[in-house]
Structure 1
Amino acid sequence: MSWLRALKETARSGLSIERKRLEPLIALRAAAGLALVVGTSLVLFGPLVAVSSAFGAFQAAIATFQRSWRPRPVLALVSGATLAVSTFVGYLSAAHVTLFVVLLALWTFGAGLAWTAGPTAGIIALSNVAIMLVTVTLPTSVADAAGHAAVIAAGGVVQAAMVVLFPVRRWGARRDALADALAAEADYARRLRQDPTAPFDPAPLMRARGAAAVTEREARRRPAELHGTRGVAERIRPVLASLADPAVGVPAEGRARDRVRELLAAAGSVLDAAADAVRHGEPVDVEPGAQAALRTPDTGDLLTGPPRRAAVRLAALLDDVVETAQGTGDADALPHRQRPSLVALLPGVVRAMRAELRPGSPILRHALRVSVVAAAGYLMGTALPFGHGYWAPLTSVMVMRPDFSQTYARSVARFGGTLVGVGAATALVQVLDLDVYATAAMAVVCAFGMYLVMRTGYAAASVFISAYVVFLLGMGGEDWAQTVPERVLLTLLGGLLAMIAYALYPAWETPRLRTRLADWLAADGRYAAAVVDCYARPAERDRTAVREALLAARDARIAWREAVARARHEPVRHRGLSRAAADSAGEALAQAGRVAMLLEAHIPERGALPLPAADGLARALRTATGQAAKAVRERRSPVWDPVRDALAAWGAPPDGPESRGPHDAVLRRGAQMLLAALEDVSDALHEEGPRTREGSAAH
């Protein structure tokens, strides 16, 4: 993609408004907490302290809107406390420009590294730096600075208390995550009726898994219908796929296929009913027709072998889904995923940050970019004759993200939102002649608007943020007319600095696509090998190893998909992996993962006879996918001789496909499909680099 086209695409993305479900009650609660803090501070301490307290409460409320499964009060408290520390430390050096710039660079560098702990930590840390740039200009002494820091922290406490005292749709985010996973499986079941090999996006299941991790206190208070339902839903997906796929199931047409379509339709109805029940906390209302379809007695006459076992298993799992979604299961007997406390996470976060201090790390590049831009923006803003030079670094810090598309899109959105927000706020002030209390009220109204629309796009949120800051600083005594030109020009400067910094010191995703693909390939290979191992030694089968390998494969697949999405907007050449090759290789690897999932659905029981050939196949898969991942990183096309040789050594069944038992036939067919999918990966990459025989030689 050319630079011109990339700029057009990111500008369009930044200015777009997404259609999202608004949450007015949550926005109203956050605005009410802000109003309480501002009003109390204004009455007791005056406008300057009210401005500081407003920034603390405002930022703490924003933290509660982040996509995190941490308790919202904890996010508000952490935001308020860290902002208070940032503000106080910043004030201690604010009188000395050189010292403050050094502190700003170091503080911003650390905030950039905070992205290692996830987007929520990165956003809160960088927002603290941005607000610190404003609040350090308010106090006049160290004692005043300590007082301002205290009211900022108090703002976080108030917002946390508002969440506790006025809960809105308690457990709503976790309900939605689980309901979305069930609804995604319902849609999958319906699509399988028409396309037996339809793909499935595991992202809803991964979000539901993240939502299922709770603290001990949360586990005791969690609604019964949120216990265990996700685990059952995880087991349903491979059963649906194995029931529908003609390679290991029933023929593509005929009475048996009609029965499978009927079962899939019934499964979709049951899963949809369970999703609605979980989302709204209501009893499960399953259509009588769906219940009757699952219990039709002719299943045993129409389906035999693996398809019949899958049908029986599906009916049992759907009963479990209904039972757990109604909260009638034994919730106390079910284990829960443990979410460690923030204190317990700190050592791991520190180790992860240290690991990012290496050449080529995207997080390190982001930290260096944002720290240099913040320092340079502050010096440039101070040198310009506009006054209030912190607007430039404030904008840069707020818009910069580790990837190209978000940084450029947010820069455009920030400038557009600033133009509208500052213009509208200034016009209102000039027309209405507001006093201090009315100005504070207008700031709270703008904050409510921002909380309401912040998930619809950064452009819409920037309009309200800009107006909020104008009203807030006007309440503190800043001249209105001066605010307009300095805000617009310095915001433009800050956005341009962010964009130039990324162009000069980028962290492109495109050159790393092969590495992402290799990681996914290796993860898929480990998952498939773990499943095949269970066929080799049924008595020793390790479901934990299979589960861990599956989760690693899902993580790698999602990382690949996100990398491809980011790379599509980058103005760089593909460097060895074109878009067409990436799409084809991704589809082939998704098929390989699907085949492994089909095999997982038919893992033998512990008392089944072992399949000696499966042991060789599992070793071959580990060897071949490890070599193939290395070949992909080195821009070579992988070869699959170890897997092909393992299949050849298996030999043909002497007396038909069922002579060694149904599991032999399922694994044999699955292994053939898996090899075909892996060869499709090689075919997709063949045009990007020469096919080699090094894998064969190594074997």
Structure 2
Amino acid sequence: MSWLRALKETARSGLKIERRRLEPLVAVRGAAGLALVIGVSLALFGPVVAASSAFGAFQAAIATFQRSWRPRPVLALVSGISLGLSTFLGYVTGTHLALFMLLLVVWTFLAGLAWAAGPTGGIIAASNVAIMLVTITLPTSAAQAALHGAMIMFGGVVQAALIVLFPIRRWGAQRDALADALAAEADYARRLRHDPVAHFDPEPLMVARRAAAVTAREARRRPAELHGSRGVAERIRPVLASLADPAMGVPAEGPQRDRVRELLAAAGSLLDAAARAIRKGDPVRLPAPAVAALRTPDTGALLAGPPLRAADRLAALLSDVIEAAEGDGTKEERAGAREAAEAIEDGTPLRDHHPRPGLLRLVPVIVRSMRREVHHGSPILRHAVRIAVVAAVGYLVGRLLPLGHGYWVPMAAVMVMRPEFSQTYSRAVARFGGTLVGVFLASAIVQAAHPGTGPLAVLAVICALLMYLLMRTGYAVSQACVGAYVVFLLGMAGDDLSQTVFERVLLTLAGGLLAMISYAVYPAWETPRLRTRLGDWLKADGRYAAAVVEQYGDPAARGHHDVRAALLATREARVAWQEAVATARHEPVRHRGLSHGASDATQHALAQFGRVAMLLEAHLPPGGATPVPGAARLAEALRRATDRGAKAVRERRVPDWTPVREALERWEAECAARDEAVTGVPAPAPLVRNSAGLLLEALEDFSRGLTS
């Protein structure tokens, strides 16, 4: 993609406005906390301290809107405390330029590295640095700086207290994540009716897994319907695929296929019912036709072997979903849901507790994540270096320009910079456009009405309310609200509004340009790393398939947790690859060895490879089952070949799958040399051998795709 086209697309993306579901009650709660903080600060300390405390409460509320599974009060407290501390340290060092520049560089560099802990941490850290550049200009002494810092922290405490006292849709994000996962499974079941080899995007299951991670204290307070359903949904996916796939024994057409379609439709209806119940916290209302379809007794007469086992397993898992989703309804409602579940299949709901470290225990985890990114080639490290240099240069440029309010340059740059090219450029355009609109509208109101301190505070709260309400519709919209908010707030503190309008627009443009230039000079392109991401996915897929096949070779020696760990690793690798491809498509960089055609072909081959492994996982033998001869050797061949293949992909070579082919041929020869009916070779042996052939075929398609 050329630079001109990339700039056009990022600009269009930054100015895009979307229709999203609004959360008015949450927005009102955040604005009420802001109004309370401003009112108390005005009454006790005056408009200047009120402006500082308002920034703290404003940022604390924004932190609670970030996509995080941490409790919202914790996010508000962390934001308020860190911003208050930053303000005090910034003011104390502000009189010594060299010392302040050192603090700014170190603080901003750490904020950039905070992206290693996730987007929420990175956004909060960067926002705190940006707002610090404004708040340190308000105090007049060290004692005043301490007071301002304390009131900023007070703003965070107030927002956290309001969340605790007035909870709105408690556990709502976790409910949505789990419901989305179940709904994705339902959609998958329906698609399998028409396309028996349809692919499934595991991202909803990954999001649900992250949402299910709770501390020990949260686990005791979690609603009952959020226990267990995610684990069942994880197990349903391979069962659905195994039931639908013709390779497992069900013909493409005929009475058996009709029965499978009926079971898949019933599964989709029941999963949708469970998703609706969990999302809203209501009792499960089961569709009678779906329950009747699963209870039809002719399944055993029509299906046999792996399809029959998959159908029985599906009924048991759906029963678990229904029982887990029944939640905290009335006694009669719970009894009705339980009776319906038992009508499908007797089963016990799964209760899982995915642990999440507490706030104090999270600190060493974050430190380790940041240390892992300190290496050459890390995009997070490049972002940290880039944002630290831009903040320092922007601050010096702002001081040298004869405009005043020079802190707007580094503030604008820090706010828009992200580790990715497209997000940095689109946000820079959106911030300038939104700031232009917001500042001029606010200035027009001030010039026309000449409001006093009280009306300016009210106008600031209204702008914050609009920002909280509309922030998910587009970055340009939120920045228009922020621009007006800052104009009203600084006007309340006695700032020169006529200067603020001209300077903030001009200096915001300068900050955005600095951010864009920095990425062009010191980029972190994803395109050259596509082969590395592809190799990681191939390696993870190979280890997953090897873990599954190895389970057949020695069921008693290993537990299913090995397969589970390998599955999670391949999901992470697949999502990392997909995100990298999506990012690379917007970069003004050539493919450098991996064309779009090769990217699509290899992705399809690896998806098929993982799907075959998943089908094998659906029929894993119990611990006491008879080992399948030759499976262990095949698993080792798969593991070694995919490890070497991943290295070949990174080194721009085509992988060679001869070891896997030889291992499979040797196994076939051994099986042909004996009479399986006499020697008692276990029933899963043909299933494993057939699937191994499909695995090899997918690997060969992968190699052919690399050269396309």
Q: State whether TM-score is above 0.5.
A: yes
SS of alignment partner, residue 572 of structure 1: coil
Identity of aligned residues (%): 69
CA contact (8 A) 2:417 2:424 kept: yes
1:678 aligns with 2:695: no
1:474 aligns with 2:495: no
Please list, as runs of the form range in 1=range in 2, the aligned pairs for 1:108-123 lying within 5 A after superposition. 108-123=108-123
CA distance in 1, matches of 2:700, 2:31: 57
The gaps in structure 2 that reach 5 residues or longer are 328-333, 339-346
CA contact (8 A) 1:184 1:204 kept: yes
1:176 aligns with 2:205: no
1:350 aligns with 2:367: yes
Please list, as runs of the form range in 1=range in 2, the aligned pairs for 1:383-462 lying within 5 A after superposition. 383-462=400-479
CA contact (8 A) 1:182 1:271 kept: yes
CA contact (8 A) 2:609 2:699 kept: yes
Shift, 1:106, TM fit: 1.5
CA contact (8 A) 2:627 2:682 kept: no
1:217 aligns with 2:240: no
CA distance in 2, matches of 1:568, 1:379: 35
1:126-172 CA distance string (max 9 Å, x none): 11110000000000000000000000000000000010000000111
**Which region of structure 1 is more displaced relative to structure 2, 344-353 or 331-340?**
331-340
CA distance in 1, matches of 2:464, 2:600: 42
Corresponding residue number in structure 2 for 1:251: 251
SS of alignment partner, residue 304 of structure 1: coil
Letter paired with 2:454: Y
Shift, 1:244, TM fit: 0.4
CA distance in 1, matches of 2:464, 2:675: 72
Corresponding residue number in structure 1 for 2:516: 499
1:633 aligns with 2:658: no
CA distance in 2, matches of 1:291, 1:656: 44
CA contact (8 A) 1:242 1:249 kept: no
CA contact (8 A) 1:224 1:331 kept: no
**Which region of structure 1 is more displaced relative to structure 2, 350-359 or 87-96?**
350-359
Corresponding residue number in structure 1 for 2:87: 87
Shift, 1:364, TM fit: 1.0
Letter paired with 1:677: A
Shift, 1:457, TM fit: 1.6
Shift, 1:332, TM fit: 11
CA contact (8 A) 1:57 1:159 kept: yes
Aligned residues: 687
CA contact (8 A) 1:116 1:363 kept: yes
Letter paired with 1:493: A
1:662 aligns with 2:683: yes
CA distance in 2, matches of 1:146, 1:33: 22
SS of alignment partner, residue 455 of structure 1: helix
- Structure 1 segments, 4+ long, off by >6 Å, are 329-333, 655-659
CA distance in 2, matches of 1:676, 1:467: 60
Change (3 A) 1:647 1:30: same
1:346-380 CA distance string (max 9 Å, x none): 22322222222222111111111101111111111
1:19 aligns with 2:40: no
Letter paired with 2:509: L
Letter paired with 1:387: G
Corresponding residue number in structure 2 for 1:143: 143
TM-score of the pair, normalised by structure 2: 0.95
1:515 aligns with 2:536: no
1:604-654 CA distance string (max 9 Å, x none): 122322112101110000110000000000001111111111110112655
CA distance in 1, matches of 2:52, 2:182: 45
**Which region of structure 1 is more displaced relative to structure 2, 586-595 or 492-501?**
586-595
SS of alignment partner, residue 16 of structure 1: coil
Corresponding residue number in structure 1 for 2:618: 601
CA distance in 2, matches of 1:333, 1:456: 38
CA contact (8 A) 1:415 1:495 kept: yes
Corresponding residue number in structure 2 for 1:375: 392
CA distance in 1, matches of 2:4, 2:102: 36
CA contact (8 A) 2:552 2:627 kept: yes
Change (3 A) 1:292 1:333: closer
Please list, as runs of the form range in 1=range in 2, the aligned pairs for 1:246-395 lying within 5 A after superposition. 246-327=246-327, 334-395=351-412
1:555 aligns with 2:572: yes
**Which region of structure 1 is more displaced relative to structure 2, 387-396 or 329-338?**
329-338
Shift, 1:677, TM fit: 1.0
CA distance in 1, matches of 2:98, 2:701: 59
CA distance in 2, matches of 1:594, 1:128: 44
CA distance in 2, matches of 1:372, 1:91: 20
Corresponding residue number in structure 2 for 1:191: 191
Shift, 1:472, TM fit: 0.5
CA distance in 1, matches of 2:681, 2:253: 27
Shift, 1:97, TM fit: 2.5
CA distance in 2, matches of 1:657, 1:18: 62
Letter paired with 2:376: P
Please list, as runs of the form range in 1=range in 2, the aligned pairs for 1:521-560 lying within 5 A after superposition. 521-560=538-577
1:178-204 CA distance string (max 9 Å, x none): 000000000000000000011101000
Corresponding residue number in structure 2 for 1:691: none
CA contact (8 A) 2:540 2:573 kept: yes
CA distance in 2, matches of 1:547, 1:178: 19
1:572 aligns with 2:612: no
Shift, 1:44, TM fit: 1.2
Shift, 1:454, TM fit: 1.2
Change (3 A) 1:331 1:502: farther
CA contact (8 A) 2:7 2:425 kept: yes
CA distance in 1, matches of 2:114, 2:236: 37
CA distance in 1, matches of 2:326, 2:373: 45
Shift, 1:117, TM fit: 1.0
Corresponding residue number in structure 2 for 1:155: 155
1:298-349 CA distance string (max 9 Å, x none): 1111101000010011011111110110036899983411110121122232
**Which region of structure 1 is more displaced relative to structure 2, 266-275 or 246-255?**
246-255
SS of alignment partner, residue 434 of structure 1: coil
CA contact (8 A) 2:179 2:275 kept: yes
CA distance in 2, matches of 1:170, 1:364: 36
Shift, 1:381, TM fit: 1.1
Aligned CA RMSD, in angstroms, stands at: 1.5
Letter paired with 2:137: T
Shift, 1:430, TM fit: 1.4
CA distance in 2, matches of 1:558, 1:47: 49
Shift, 1:391, TM fit: 0.5
Letter paired with 2:198: A
Shift, 1:98, TM fit: 2.8
CA contact (8 A) 1:516 1:556 kept: yes
CA distance in 2, matches of 1:587, 1:130: 43
Shift, 1:72, TM fit: 0.5
Letter paired with 2:398: G
CA distance in 1, matches of 2:572, 2:403: 48
CA contact (8 A) 2:320 2:349 kept: no
The gaps in structure 1 that reach 5 residues or longer are 688-699
CA distance in 2, matches of 1:434, 1:65: 31
Corresponding residue number in structure 1 for 2:343: none
TM-score of the pair, normalised by structure 1: 0.96
Letter paired with 2:696: L
Shift, 1:451, TM fit: 0.7
Shift, 1:215, TM fit: 1.2
Change (3 A) 1:331 1:368: farther
Change (3 A) 1:296 1:441: same
CA distance in 2, matches of 1:211, 1:585: 31
Shift, 1:107, TM fit: 1.1
1:235 aligns with 2:235: yes
Letter paired with 1:223: P
